[in-house]
Each structure stands twice: as C-alpha cells, then as structure tokens.
Amino acid sequence: MKKNTIITIDGPAGAGKTTIAKEVAKRLGFLYLDTGAMYRALTLKALTEGITVEEEEKLVEMVKETILIAKKDDKKGMRIWVDGEEVTDKIRTEEVTNNIWWVCRVKDVRKKMKKLQREIGSSGGIVVEGRDIGTVVFPKAPFKFYLDASIDERAKRRWLEQTNKGIQSDLEKIKQDIKERDNKDFTREIAPLKKAEDAISVDTTGLSIEDVVGKIIEQVSQ
C-alpha cells in the first residue's frame, strides 16, 4: 500500500463508519476526514442564523461565505471550525441531526463540500468517511469500503452510545429515526447513499471493532 493512498468508507447511519475509520487512520498514521461533520457544521450555522428549510438561496449564500476548517486530533480523530469557532461537540445535537437532510440535498452546497473534501484529500494518506465518498468525491480511490449492519444492531449501537453518555433514550424511537434518515440518504436526488460498484461490502452485524478494522487493514495491506 502506498503512503499517499485514499481509503473511502461509506454506509448508513450506525454502521460503525466513524469508529472504524478513526481506528484505521490511527493505525496507518493517516489523516481522518469525517465528511458528515462538515454537513453538520453547515447545518448548525444555518440553524443559528435562522435559515429555514424553504430558504435554499439564503442557505447557498451562507455556505459560499462560510470558512470550514478541519484538523487532525489524536483523541477525537478530527476537530472542526466554522468561521473561526470550534464546533466539534456542538454539531452532535438532535436538532442538527434532524435538520441536516435539507442542507445536504442542495446541489451548490454539495458542490462546495466536494471541492473542499478533494482539497483536503489531495495529498492522500487519508481515510474519508461519508455517504458519497467512493461514488462521487473520490471515485478513483484505490480502496473503497461500504459498511452496513442490520437495523436492529444499528439502533442498539446508537442507544448504547447515548446511554454511555448518560442520555436516556428510547430504542424504538431511535430505530424509527434511523429508518427515516436511511430513507432520506438513499433517495436524495444528488449524491445519494450508494455502494460504489468497486467497494468491498462489510456487514458489521455481530462483528467487533477489531474484526472490522482487521478486515480493512488486511485488504489495504495486500
């Protein structure tokens, strides 16, 4: 494997992308790019500015003016700044998660993010995680993975994540929310979630983090 290679990891919410991508990057000494965090940061700014779902033009203007900066962090994998303010933790709220669909469906928003993601990944040595990375952002990446897991397992993981943070949540509600997000991600007109034809599928249901990381490292080391 070349040191300047690009590894893409796509898949639906709760499939384990973030945990796996961060760990693979750490072991290989690569950068890690969480593209979902970029869309989350834009959504946070749009909500803070009071932009609504109907105001697409205003949203595009806002995105044009926004300066997004992502930096490597040994603990968090990646930190993100919007116009000079760090928002790494602020972008993980339910409000952002529930509103992100109308931000990431807009053509000009995706166009700017694609450009930025390509710039960040231009030197390689990077693991990039998202929904359209192997299909649209880095279609020529030499290593592509598509992670998935059963809906029950994905919901259970999210529930456990919340519980570990001390947040009470309802498993059935989480399951419904994930189904809705899946539906929006799969049916989006521009850059929907799709497995790239040449991506390796990994069903993470019942697998440990070590199992999945091991599979990926094995593939890229061949």
Are the beta carbons of 159 and 24 closer than 8 angstroms? no
Smallest gap from residue 222 Cβ to ligand DC (A): 26
Are the beta carbons of 129 and 21 closer than 8 angstroms? yes
Residue 39 touching ligand DC (CB under 6 A): yes
List the Cα angle 11/213/74 in 5-degree steps: 95
| Closer by beta carbon to ligand DC, 1 or else 183 | 183
Are the beta carbons of 145 and 8 closer than 8 angstroms? yes
Among the listed ranges 35-43, 45-53, 62-70, 159-167, the one in contact with ligand DC (CB under 6 A) is 35-43
| Closer by beta carbon to ligand DC, 28 or else 36 | 36
Cα–Cα distance, 213 to 210 (Å, whole number): 5
Are the beta carbons of 131 and 185 closer than 8 angstroms? yes
Residue 11 touching ligand DC (CB under 6 A): no
DSSP string, 50-113: T--TT-HHHHHHHHHH--EEEEEETTTEEEEEETTEE-TTGGGSHHHHHHHHHHTT-HHHHHHH
Q: Out of 181, 199, 202, 220, name the contact with ligand DC by CB under 6 A.
A: 181
Smallest gap from residue 17 Cβ to ligand DC (A): 7
Task: Tokens 């962090």: give the residue.
Answer: 73
Residue 109 touching ligand DC (CB under 6 A): no
Sign of CA dihedral 114, 119, 123, 126: negative
Smallest gap from residue 13 Cβ to ligand DC (A): 5
Residue 35 touching ligand DC (CB under 6 A): yes
Residue 40 touching ligand DC (CB under 6 A): yes
Q: Out of 126, 155, 185, 213, name the contact with ligand DC by CB under 6 A.
A: 185
| Closer by beta carbon to ligand DC, 181 or else 213 | 181
Q: Out of 132, 148, 153, 177, name the contact with ligand DC by CB under 6 A.
A: 132
Are the beta carbons of 16 and 157 closer than 8 angstroms? yes
Interface map 76-105 toward ligand DC (x if CB under 6 A)? ------------------------x---x-
Give the interface with ligand DC as residue ranges (CB under 6 A).
13, 35-36, 39-40, 100, 104, 130-133, 181, 185
